[in-house]
């Protein structure tokens, strides 16, 4: 092989190598870009998955918080109801205890009223009469201070909510028919509640 041929072959090899390198470079760049795109997509998917996971977690936490808040409100409402019920029961207990005391005093008041009737003809300056009147007035004042008042009965229309009819008697006055003509035992109200019905006689 002569010198010229060798030079031509070397030139051809050089050109071929340069062309191959030139052709290979875009492929390498494309492969690199493709790799970068794939990495970006992977990172995007990873970020999206993490975001979705966080959103699910946030929703679960929100639901748990709402559940805890609901339970707290229910417990608070139950406690308030318990407190109100306890206070009411306490008030009712005090009230019923006071009511019981007042009811038990009424027969004593009846006795003093009967005693005063029997002392009607005794002089007013009599010590026994004065003492009886004083005690009776103190009992009456005590009842008044505790909102206990006598039930109106005489000449009133008979009322089953206030009166207990013991008997009926004939009356000549038409206006007295169906009305209370006599009271055998006084009735009393505590505020607006009947604590003892008035025992009465009805005209007919």
Three-state SS sequence of the chain: CCHHHHHHHHHHHHHHHHHHHHHHHHHHHHHHHHHHHHHHHHHHHHHHHHHHHHHHHHHHHHHHHHHHHHHHHHHHHHHHHHHHHHHHHHHHHHHHHHHHHHHHHHHHHHHHHHHHHHCCCCCCCCHHHHHHHHHHHHHHHHHHHCCEEECCCCCCECCCCCEEEEEEECCCCHHHECEEEEEEECCEEECCEEEECEEEEEEC
Per-residue pLDDT band for 4 (boundaries 50, 70, 90) equals low
Residue 95 has what pLDDT? 65
> What span, in angstroms and rounded, lies between the C-alpha atoms of 146 and 102?
8
Question: 96-119 in b/e burial notation, b at 16+ Cβ within 10 A?
Answer: eeebeebeebbeebeebeeeeeeb
Residue ranges covered by each domain of the chain: 148-204
> What span, in angstroms and rounded, lies between the C-alpha atoms of 38 and 32?
10
Percent of the chain at pLDDT exceeding 70:
74
Fold classification of 148-204 (topology level): Nucleotide Exchange Factor Grpe; Chain A, domain 2 (2.30.22)
- Average of per-residue pLDDT values in the chain: 84
Percent of the chain at pLDDT exceeding 90:
55
pTM of the model: 0.55
Minimum mean pLDDT range among 34-43, 149-158, 176-185 = 34-43
Maximum Cα interatomic distance, the chain, rounded to a whole number of Å: 177
Write out pLDDT tens, residues 48-100.
777 788 888 889 999 999 999 999 899 999 988 888 887 887 776 566 568 98
pLDDT exceeds cutoff 60 at 21 = no
């Amino acid at each position: 092989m002569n010198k010229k041929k060798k030079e031509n072959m070397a030139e051809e090899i050089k050109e071929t190598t340069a062309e191959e390198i030139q052709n290979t470079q875009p492929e390498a760049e494309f492969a690199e870009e493709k790799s970068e795109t794939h990495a970006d997509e992977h990172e995007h998917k990873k970020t999206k998955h993490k975001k979705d996971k966080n959103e699910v977690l946030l929703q679960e936490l929100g639901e748990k918080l709402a559940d805890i808040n609901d339970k707290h409100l229910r417990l608070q409402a139950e406690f308030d109801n318990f407190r109100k019920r306890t206070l009411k029961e306490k008030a009712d207990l005090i009230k019923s205890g006071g009511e019981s005391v007042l009811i038990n005093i009424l027969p004593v008041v009846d006795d003093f009223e009967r005693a005063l009737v029997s002392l009607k003809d005794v002089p007013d300056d009599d010590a026994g009469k004065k003492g009886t009147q004083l005690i009776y007035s103190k009992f009456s004042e005590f009842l008044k201070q505790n909102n206990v008042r006598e039930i109106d009965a005489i000449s009133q229309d008979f009322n089953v909510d206030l009166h207990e009819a013991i008997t009926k008697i004939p009356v000549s006055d038409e206006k007295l028919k169906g009305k209370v003509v006599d009271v055998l035992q006084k009735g009393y109200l505590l505020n607006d509640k009947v604590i003892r019905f008035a025992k009465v006689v009805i005209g007919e």
